Amino acid sequence: MLSLKKYLTEGLLQFTILLSLIGVRVDVDTYLTSQLPPLREIILGPSSAYTQTQFHNLRNTLDGYGVHPKSIDLDNYFTARRLLSQVRALDRFQVPTTEVNAWLVHRDPEGSVSGSQPSSGLTLESSSGLQDVTGPDNGVRESETEQGFSEDLEDLGAVAPPVSGDLTKEDIDLIDILWRQDIDLGAGRETFDYSHRQKEQDVDKELQDGAEQDDTWSGEGAEALARNLLVDGETGESFPAQFPADISSITEAVPSESEPPGLQNNLLSPLLTGTDSPFDLEQQWQDLMSIMEMQAMEVNTSTNEILYSAPPGDPLSTNYSLAPNTPINQNVSLHQASLGGCSQDFSLFSPEVESLPVASSSTLLPLVPSNSTSLNSTFGSTNLAGLFFPPQLNGTANDTAGPELPDPLGGLLDEAMLDEISLMDLAIEEGFNPVQASQLEEEFDSDSGLSLDSSHSPSSLSSSEGSSSSSSSSSSSSSSSSSSSSSSSSSSASSSFSEEGAVGYSSDSETLDLEEAEGAVGYQPEYSKFCRMSYQDPSQLSCLPYLEHVGHNHTYNMAPSALDSADLPPPSALKKGSKEKQADFLDKQMSRDEHRARAMKIPFTNDKIINLPVEEFNELLSKYQLSEAQLSLIRDIRRRGKNKMAAQNCRKRKLDTILNLERDVEDLQRDKARLLREKVEFLRSLRQMKQKVQSLYQEVFGRLRDENGRPYSPSQYALQYAGDGSVLLIPRTLADQQARRQERKPKDRRK
């Protein structure tokens, strides 16, 4: 529960941040284009901006504006327009991604239909096989550069038209490389799935020949790949055809050789070198990542992907790399609230993380509309944006200003955003803002319930389980609780806390889930014990064979032999020897108290002694003339018997609580890792946004001219953004003063 709350809180915070970012962006946009009423309306306007149509209208308006430039200074106009487009690109990162997605989507069906492997289906097998050819380095690098490649590849793949032709050795190598990369892209997650499921699939395949193409691709394709590198050709898919094209395009783009390492370097280089991004942030991420790794194994894959997924690189890559962030918007947006927190919980997460490597793929496509809506709402709800404007004014903030120009925007972003982020951290780490918590609690509860039904979210499971088991753990309900817990464990192991939440989201989270699920599976023995204990519930005693034996056997005082014969083997088997053996066996089966009872000639069963209600028990005792020793023994038997049950229940409960705690810990760790990942994500996107805004600021500022046509000195003047959407060019000193003023206000508000 708590984790959920945290999550949602953070989601809101992130949402806020995004809003602010967007608001900033829009604002700049407005300024740049001098007058864009729609934008301002969105920023400052009320709920109207929430409607999707509104948003689209906005877009249309904007586009229309671009299409029909009015008589303006052409130079300014085009500049402004270009800047505007850039700014717009900030919230449109997904567009290129969308294209890529479409490509991927098409591809999969092809593979499945053809019955051969989609490139995504190649998975690790192929990659490993390729590694032999390409060289040892690849294996290592592959993981590192996985994401970067993915992006590049996506681009290439999306662009490259399918072409067929003969393949040279180099071509093949290139193809292999591409494939492998592609695999990383398309199948990064599926790979895991595949590895997990491979055996099953193989078995299934053997059992049902070529029943399903999906199976066939995974099975045959993998085998084929393992056998031969050229399997591509064997599969006869479109791939072989595609890849030559890819090669050509790649070779053009990358003059260097087909040498795997070389190619990788080439592919990688733009990402790494081209990035204007200072590596401090990267390092932060890495630090975070290392922490995450230490704390949760699960994070590894995803983290790597994150780390390398979006190394901001060439302009394209930066733009595209932003795409992953957009899912965040979606997730954070109202959708989340409506869809249910738990599933969303991870969907929020998985999509971004997963979508990154996979080209932020297919998931994005369907989400685009929602995304737009979310953005729209984002715009609309910009009272938040209003919150961020003041910080913007702070402008001259300490934080990284551009080398050339002191960057008010940079300061704005840094201060406002990072401040918020830090607040977010505080909120998360220190517990919940009570107000937020109270507000969100209901949603969470309902959400968890929903998610529990639809998608087994980890947190929901744990919480519900914990509550149910703990509350109802007493004897009578123990069986049910045990079953529930066991079932939950199994579910966690199989579908595994499907953190994916939303349907489209698979992959990373899945793999994580699997890993975690494995961990959970490790506790199965305990579960078995647990179940064992549970079925010893007093209420179910009579149903259990073993206990039944005990019960019947203890009627030995009355008619042991008859009972024995009835209970045990058929009459035919009742020979003397077997009888004796059975007697021995029964003797062994009897507890000490039973033996004692027999020795003392107690006239009723231990079962009765133990389980009868006090009144009946007393009645029973009153019916017989019992010696003091017998009475004492009977009381002891009763006491011990009850205690025995109590001990069993106690142990069961204890185990139950331990397991629940364990699950809680896992959930918390997962949440923590997820939050860290998200944090990293946002930091990165923040960074990119900041860079964008910075460059835009510089560009705008650089184009400003005074009456004499001379540029303004950055050291003396600065652009300032007012809350009403206007932009002012003011002296630095004034800007600084205002910045300080503005600085205090928001902080006061917060307190």
Partner DNA sequence: ATTAGTTGTCATAAT
Partner DNA sequence: GGATTATGACAACTA
**Binding site residues, DNA, CB under 7 A:** 474-475, 525-526, 529, 532-533, 591-593, 613-614, 617, 636, 638-651, 653-654
CB-wise, 571 or 613, nearer to DNA? 613
Residue 624 Cβ vs DNA, minimum distance, rounded to whole Å: 17
Query: Which residues does residue 720 pair with via DSSP β-bridges, in sequence order?
Result: 728
Q: Shortest approach of DNA to residue 467 CB, angstroms?
A: 17
Which CB atom, from 99 or from 526, has the smaller least distance to DNA? 526
**Amino acid type, 73:** D
Q: What six digits make up the tokens of 289?
A: 């990542």
Q: Which two tokens stand for residue 393?
A: 């004014």
SS3 content of the chain, % helix, strand, coil (to 5): 80, 0, 20
**CB 645, min distance to DNA, A:** 7
List the structure tokens of 445: 């509860």
Please identify, using beta-carbon distances, which residue of 234 and 636 lies nearer to DNA.
Answer: 636
Pick between residue 398 and residue 632 the one whose CB is nearest to DNA.
Answer: 632
Q: How far apart are CA 216 and CA 210, in angstroms?
A: 6
Q: Is 89 helix (H, G, I), strand (E, B) or coil?
A: helix
Tell which phi-psi region holds residue 359, choosing left (phi > 0), alpha (psi between -120 and 50) or beta: left
Shortest distance in whole angstroms from residue 647 CB to DNA: 4
CA distance 131 to 727: 56
Instruction: State which residue, 125 or 656, has the beta carbon closest to DNA.
Output: 656
**Count of helix runs (H) and strand runs (E) in the chain:** 36, 2
CB of 652 to DNA, least distance (A): 9
Instruction: For DNA, give the closer residue by CB, 494 or 632.
Output: 632
Q: Give whichever of 185 and 634 is closer to DNA, judged by the CB atom.
A: 634
Q: Do residues 342 and 451 make contact, with C-beta atoms less than 8 angstroms apart?
A: yes
Q: What is the Cα–Cα distance from 666 to 658, expressed in whole angstroms?
A: 12
Tell me how far CA of residue 671 lies from CA of 80, 289, 325, 623, in angstroms.
Answer: 43, 14, 19, 63
Least distance between DNA and beta carbon 649 (Å): 5
Quote the CA–CA distance of 175 and 127 in Å, as a whole number: 11
Name which of 645 and 683 has its Cβ closer to DNA.
Answer: 645
Nearest approach in angstroms of CB 612 to DNA is: 8
- One-letter amino acid for residue 394 of the chain: N
Q: Which is nearer to DNA, 74 or 614 (CB)?
A: 614
**What is the nearest approach in angstroms of DNA to the Cβ of residue 465?**
18
Question: What distance in Å separates the CA atoms of residue 285 and residue 683, rounded to the nearest whole number?
Answer: 9
Least spacing, CB of residue 600 vs DNA, in Å? 14
The CB-of-536 to DNA minimum distance in angstroms stands at: 7
**What does 6-38 look like in DSSP terms, one character per residue?**
HHHHHHHHHHHHHHHHHHHHHHHHHHHTS--HH
Residue closer to DNA (CB basis): 58 or 533 = 533
Q: Who contacts 508 (Cβ-Cβ below 8 Å, separation ≥6)? A: 188, 189, 301, 302, 305, 350, 353, 354, 357
